[in-house]
Amino acid sequence: MLVGEEAKNVKSRGKWLPPWSMPADPVQAVFWFLRWSLQVLARYFYVLILVGVAYETYLNGFVGLAGTLLVGLLVWACLAGLLLVVNVTSGISRIYSEINHLRQNSPGFSAFTAPTCEPEREENIVEGSIITDLEEERRRRRQEM
């Protein structure tokens, strides 16, 4: 029975917060966390609005209620709009990266696109060979003087 209650708690906790699936890459993790926190803020901003409205109503009466409610709803709408923009751009970015991944891994897909020129490959430099080359260059310069 305890397992069922724990499973119920996990499911209900998942409904309260967006899923926590942070990527391992640090740069992606920063953007993922900013998006996750924006989702949480947009989802629960009404609580802050209600607290602010209650406080302002207590201090200023009806004027405080109307003003705080109006400002709170405007800020909440801006947060929802920002979240919408972030979700759309991240979706576009995900689609673009999938297309690039398919283009690189699928030989049939690249036949329909313009050929890309591959960058020239550099020679592999063994560690320490540059130092040897510099020492030889210094010797040559000393001999020339």
In a domain, 125, yes or no: no
pLDDT at site 139: 84
What total number of domains does the chain contain?
A: 1
Return d(Cα 79, Cα 73) in angstroms, integer: 10
The reported pLDDT for the residue numbered 8 is 54
pLDDT the model gives residue 66: 83
The pLDDT, as a whole number, for residue 74 is: 92
Residue 34 lies in a domain: no
Low-confidence ranges of the chain (pLDDT < 50): 1-2, 110-111
Question: Is residue 100 one of the residues assigned to a domain?
Answer: yes
pTM > 0.95: yes or no: no
Q: Which residue range forms the structural domain that includes residue 75?
A: 40-104
